[in-house]
Every structure is written in structure tokens, then in C-alpha cells.
Amino acid sequence: MAERIGAWLAAWASAVVARPRLTAAATLAVAALAAWYAAGNLVPNTDTANMIAPTIPWRQHYNEYRAAFPLRDRNLLIVVDASTPARADEFAAELLGELRKQPERYRAPLLAGEGEFFERNGLLYLPTPQLAELTDRLAAAQPLIGLLGSRLDGTAVLGVARRSLAADGGGTAELASFYEELARTLGTVDDGEASAFAWDRLITLAPERAAGARRIIVLQPDVDFSRMQPAAAAIADVRAIAARLDPAGEVGVRLTGTVAMEHEELLSVSRGAGLGALATLFMVALVLYAALRSWRLLFASILTLVAGLSLTAAFAAVAVGQLNLLSIAFVVLNVGLGSDYVIHVLLRYRELVAEGHATNAALVEAVRDVGSSLVLCAFTTAAGFYAFIPTTFSGVSELGLIAGTGVFFGLVASITLLPALVAWWENEPGPVGSAPTWLDPRIFAPLSRRPRLVLAVTTVALIAAFAALPRVTFDSNPIHLRDPDSESVSTLLELAAAGDAPLLNLVAVAPDAATARGWAAELRERPEVRAVTTADALVPPEQDEKLALLDDLALLMGGDFGKLERTPADPDPRYNGYSVGRWVDDYTFVVETTGLLPKTWLDHAGRPHSDQLAVEETYHRVSGDTIELTMKITDSKMYTEPWLALNKQPLHLMPDDFDIPELLCSPSEFAEYNNQVARPVLRDPSKK
């Protein structure tokens, strides 16, 4: 059988070398057409989710889940880290606003914890002990909040620090965090890198994370899976927006999630495929030149490999139509396998030429001698690749089909194009002698003289290898398949360690709530399951206890806690100024007013004031129907010291039948009143 195959191949090679130019031109033309067809019809498909056959049950369930909850698939997480919570909130809000301007590129961008619902009910989702700790911290900070409630600017903060230090020397434990944060803020000013006072640190529940603040934005970017990097445009735009919003680079922005990890993986694959193809081609060329020692034969070999690769790519375009992350590896595989055929044919050809055969005769005999072996190798290699086809992993299945068929294209190119090029370019070959080898075979002579020693060493090595097998473990974590130093993976692992991004989740859709609770109860009993969460977790537990804690906090802090109006740092003066009130105790309410127009008077006597005027009104209830009003005037530009305009002026509760007369505020009505009432009454009767 081998001789018959060799004879058939020799007859084919004889026809090829009889018309080498025509054969070479025709074969190269076909290869060029194949490359052109593949370039226009073979597209990449970088959707890794489609690398599994859609016919298997769990895959069908996954597709149904994706259809029901589309926003939970292919998400991009933007992790914002800033020096203070206030800066993190500010930057995250700006970034979110920019992203929402491009709804066609970024679908459903969401800031974690954003929205009126969480603003009103977010504290109910804290564990009860943690909420109790928060209320204790707020209660301890209540005196400080009361001091700052009327005014929240740099002057007020320094004033509170001065008053509290003068009162107790800074020894109050509740104010320790306030002094520490104030010292940190002033220290940044001295260092030339001023930062805002971080009020959140005064009541933080995680002191180890108090040095900064983190916000997470989740969105679904637009992706194009016909490109090697489907999310490249969206990710580049996110980074450009972040750089524009923070040109100084003070805020850290990192990307993670499924889209970011796949983007970095595809970027690595595309770069690796290109470098791998070049490295393979270089190594093959190096081996060919070392074996053949002829630039013409080397060039003929490379053209043969490229032609076989072009034909394989055209077949892939016809049979599959797309390349996934695994099937694209056929390039490296077929170049390496094709080079074996080339080396076998040309080395036998060189031997025959060295023996005195003419070029054409040597080519025909070379194909006859090695042809049957090459055919056998092609079938066995293709069978190994075709064994991948039945698998439901379409990435591997398509790789097996393409690479297995490519083996035959490489064989055809080696017995067609290669002999034609050699017959064309080496019609009169020069003398061929034995070429020196790079590795002296005499170094293996001692091994052949001591076969028992070789067998003994080999046996010991095998025993050691078998003994080490039980120590080999299987790593089932797919995260470990990626580069742990990449931004997306390191960020995801950091979020997972902090509890912000649980890994390796299994999702099950139950027909009703009762079934879901039953599944959850059974799963919690299994040691392999770390945690189970159902839709019931959306309803905060222990609401009665938590609401009681919040009611106590509201009673202590006052109904307007969190809604106090902050005085602008540099307010525009107005007639009534800016007033902010606070409760000092259960019977005393203080109102501080600043930002008054300097062209007004303090009273009917015409006492002036400047733009530095500050009015403090203290309302103290002394009984059920009496309130005392004390008004203090402070104006360093106009008066040498503060003075009291009113000192415990009593204000009494009016009787139930007391009526407040109507006041005329309209200038036109006021003028009409003077004409109709005031002037007639005041007119001198003697001048009628």
C-alpha cells in the first residue's frame, strides 16, 4: 500500500515539475484568491459566551436568564477611589452625568446606593448591631453637630475647635476624631495639597477604611463582537471622560467586571496571536535554514506554508464563517505542522541531489520516498484534531475541524507548490556537500555505551513522577486563568475581599417565593455553599428594632437633622441675609443670620452695619406662655465689641381671640391707602 501511494504521489510530482512555472503561478493564484476570500468572509467572534453549544440544558437556562434579566449580563464596573467621601461623591456624580449623556453606548448606568429609596431607607439594610453602633456615634457627636449646625464653613469649624478646646482642653473622647480630622486637613494645606474636611470620618463604622472613600458605578457598555476587542471604544471613552473630569489625577478610576476582564483577555490574545505567529514563523525559518542552508529553498518553504495557511483560512470561512478565541490558534498549529512536511521533502531532495540526481528527478524521487509517510502522518494528525468535533464546546470543536482539515492543505501545498518552486528556481543546482551540524552527535555516544544506566535513571525519574502525582491539584477557579496583575482582576479580587463583589455565584430562577425559600434552606445545609441569597433579602429584616433605634436618633438629633441649610462660603448679600437655626436644648433655639446687605439699618434709630454683621437670636422658653428673646449684634468693622440689642425680652402668648391685622405690602395699595385714608385724617381742618 505504501508503495502504491508513493507511486501515485511520484506521478503527481512528475506532472508538477514538468511545468513548474505554470503550476507555481496557478497554485499561488489560488492561494491569493483564498486569502482574499478569507479576509472578506472570515470574521472574529469574540463573544466567549457563545463558545458553548446552545443545545445543552444549562446553556438554554442561562440564555433564558439573560433574556429575563438583560442588565445583569456583560457589565462594566467603574471603581472610584478618592481621598474623602465628599470628593468620591462629587466625582462619581459628575462621571455618572457624563455617561448618561450617551445612552446608546452606556446602558443603564447606576451608582451603587443611588436613588431616593436608598436615601430614605438605606440605614434599614445595615445589620442591627452596626446600626446601633452608628446611632451611638451620632449621639456622641451631637454636641459637635449642634455647634456646627448654624454655620458650616472654615471660620465656624475653627471657632468650634477653639471653644471646645477652651472648655475641656481637647480631652473629650467624642471630639478626638474631630480634632484628628481638623489636624489632617490643616496639614494638607501646609503641604500644598489642600483637601476638604471629611465629615464622614467622624462617624465611620470602618476605621480601617477611613483614609479614603470608594464608589462603584455599574453599566452595560455597547460591544461589537465582530472585533477582536469588542468593548475597546467604550472603555477608552470611559477613561477619557475620567481624565477630563480629573486632570490632576487625584481620583483613582479602575475598571473591572466581565467586560473589562474579557477586554484585557482579548487584548492579550490578539497581541499573543500576532507575536506567536511571528515567533513561530521565525523559529520555523531558522530551523529550515539550519537544515537546508539555502535561501532559495527557505523562501520556497515559507511561500508553501503561507499558501497552505491561506487555503485553510478560506475553508474556515466556508465551513464555520468565524473564528473564536480558541479556533484562531489554527494559525500556529498549521504553520508548525506544515513545516514538518516541507522539511521531510526538502531534506530527502538534498540527499538525492548530493548523490548526483538532477533537480526534477530528485524532486520526484523525494516525493515517492517520503510521500506515503507524510500521508499517514496527515491522516493520524487530522484524526486527532477531528476528535474534538463532537464536543459541545464549540470553541474546541471548531478548532479541531479547521486545524484537522488544514493538515491536508499543508500536505497538498508541500507536494505541489514546493516541488514547482524548487524545479523553477533550482533547475541547475550547485554541488551539495555535507553541512556541519550545530549539535555534535558524538555527545550521545556515552549513553549508547551504558544502556543499563540510562534505563535505571529513567526508571527512577518515572517513579518520582508517579509519587508526585497525588500532590497535583485541580484549580477550578476560572479567575486564575487570567493575569492576576491586570487591573480588572486585581480590582475584582480587592472588591471580593471587601465583600463588594462576591465571586463564583450560581443563579437559580424559582417559579415562586415558597420554592425559592425551600431551595435556599436546602442549599444552606450543604458545606460547599458559602452563602445563599434570595429576593427576600431586598426586604430589610428586624425592621421594628431598627425603626426604634432610628426614632431614638431622630428624637435626639431633631426632626431637621441632615436638612440644615449650609451658609455659602462667600454668600451674596441680601436684605434678610442667610439664617440657620439649631436646638441647643429642649427649651432653647438659636438662629444665626449672616450675609446682610450693608445698606440696611439695624433699627429705626438708623444704626449702621457692614457686610460682616452677624445677628444671633436666642429664643428661650421660660414657661408655657412666655419666651425670652436675646439678640446679640456682632460687627467687627462697625463696633468694637458685640452688644445686645435685646436682652431676655419677654414674648407672651397672645389670647385665643387675638387677630393679626392685614399688612399692606403692595406699593400701589399703600399709595391708595394714603390718598383715601391717611391724608384726609391728618389734614388740618383750618385749611379746608
For residue 23, what pLDDT band results from cuts at 50, 70 and 90? very high
Q: Is residue 219 domain-resident?
A: no
What is the grid cell recorded at 470? 497525588
Strands 588-594 and 578-585: antiparallel
pTM of this structure: 0.65
Give pLDDT, residue 209.
46
Give me the chain's average pLDDT, please.
Answer: 81
Residue 170 falls inside a structural domain: no
Maximum mean pLDDT: which of 396-410, 426-440, 476-490, 495-509: 396-410
473 contact partners, CB below 8 Å, separation of at least 6: none
pLDDT at 66 over 60: yes
Letter for the amino acid at 529? V
pLDDT: which is higher, 351 or 207:
351
Q: Give the cell for residue 525.
A: 445545609
Confidence at 571, pLDDT banded by 50, 70, 90: low
Is residue 629 over pLDDT 90? yes
Positive or negative, the CA dihedral 16, 17, 22, 28 is: positive
3-state secondary structure of 562: coil
Question: Quick one: what percent of the chain has pLDDT higher than 90?
Answer: 26
Q: What is the pLDDT of residues 258-290, one digit of tens each?
A: 888 888 877 877 777 667 767 877 887 888 787
**β-pairing verdict for 76-82 and 252-256:** antiparallel
Can you give the pLDDT at residue 25? 94
- 3-state SS assignment for residue 69: coil
H/E element holding 401? Answer: helix 394-425
What single-letter amino acid sits at 181?
Answer: E
Domain that holds residue 665: 571-688
Picking from 377, 403, 438, the residue at the C-terminal end of a domain is 438
- Tell me the average pLDDT across 92-103: 91
Grade residue 688 by pLDDT with cuts at 50, 70 and 90. very low
* Residue that wins the pLDDT comparison between 434 and 601: 601
Rounded distance between C-alpha atoms, residue 258 and residue 73, angstroms = 8
Q: What per-residue confidence (pLDDT) applies to 207?
A: 47
User: CA 261 to CA 257: how far, in whole Å?
Assistant: 6
Contact of 648 with 628, CB cutoff 8 Å: yes
- Are 132 and 123 in contact by the 8 Å Cβ rule? The answer is no
Top pLDDT among 674 and 189 is at: 674
Looking at 136-198, which runs of residues are DSSP E strands?
none
DSSP-derived pairing of the beta strands 626-634 and 643-652: antiparallel
Q: What is the pLDDT confidence band of residue 418, given thresholds at 50, 70 and 90?
A: very high
Q: How far is CA 558 from CA 118, 312, 550, 552, in A?
A: 21, 78, 11, 10
**Average of pLDDT values for 670-679?**
68
Give the relative orientation of helices 20-41 and 394-425 as an angle to the nearest 10 degrees: 150
Rounded to a whole number of angstroms, the distance between the first and last alpha carbons of the chain is 148
What DSSP state is assigned to residue 436? P
Task: Specify which residues 580 forms β-bridges with.
Answer: 592
User: What was the pLDDT predicted at 111?
Assistant: 87
Q: List C-alpha distances in Å: 551 to 118, 471, 541.
A: 18, 59, 17
* 512 found inside a domain: no
Q: What's the mean pLDDT in 223-232? A: 83
Quick check: is 406 in a domain? yes
Cell numbers that stand for 667 in this block: 406699593
Mean pLDDT to the nearest integer, 483-506: 83
Q: What band does 148 get if pLDDT is binned at 50, 70 and 90?
A: low
The CA-atom distances, in angstroms, between 503 and each of 216, 497, 651 are: 16, 10, 66
Boundary (domain end) residue, out of 406, 438, 470: 438
Residue with cell string 505542522? 337
- Specify the residue for cell string 471657632: 159
Rg over CA atoms, the chain = 42
Average pLDDT over residues 497-505: 77
Q: Does residue 144 contact residue 175 with C-beta atoms inside 8 Å?
A: yes
* 172 band by pLDDT with thresholds 50, 70 and 90: low
In a domain, 598, yes or no: yes
Helix (H) or strand (E) run with residue 217 in it: strand 213-221
Of 438, 459, 493, which residue sits at a domain end? Answer: 438
646-663 pLDDT, tens per residue?
999 999 988 888 877 666
Confirm if 591 and 617 have CB atoms less than 8 A apart: yes
In a domain, 631, yes or no: yes
Confidence at residue 151, expressed as pLDDT on a 0 to 100 scale: 53
> Residue 383 is part of a domain; what is its CATH number?
1.20.1640.10
Task: Quick: pLDDT tens for 441-470.
Answer: 677 778 888 888 899 999 999 999 999 998
Give the separation between CA 122 and CA 540, rounded to whole angstroms.
9
**What is the Cα–Cα distance from 122 to 106, expressed in whole angstroms?**
26
Nearest to 365 by CA among 9, 2, 1: 9
Cα 395 versus chain centre, distance? 26
pLDDT at 465: 93
Span 551-555, average pLDDT: 80
Q: Is the pLDDT of residue 430 over 60?
A: no
- Locate 335 and state its grid cell: 504553520
Dihedral sign of CA atoms 623, 624, 629, 630 in order: positive
Q: Which residue has the higher pLDDT, 198 or 65?
A: 65
Looking at the DSSP assignment, which residues form a beta bridge with residue 438? none
What torsion do the CA atoms of 327, 331, 334, 336 make, to the nearest 10 degrees?
-130
Give domain status of residue 30, yes or no.
yes
Nearest CA-CA partner of 403 in 339, 330, 340, 335: 330
- The pLDDT of 60-86, averaged and rounded, is 84
669 lies in a domain?
yes
Comparing 373-377, 440-444, 534-538, 684-688, which segment has the lowest mean pLDDT?
Answer: 684-688
Q: Residue 117 pLDDT > 70, yes or no?
A: yes
pLDDT of 670:
64
* Dist. CA 404–CA 329, nearest whole Å: 12
Strand partners, 618: 590, 630
Mean pLDDT over residues 175-184, rounded? 67
Report how many domains make up the chain: 2
Tell me how far apart the alpha carbons of residues 157 and 151 are, in angstroms, rounded to a whole number. Answer: 8
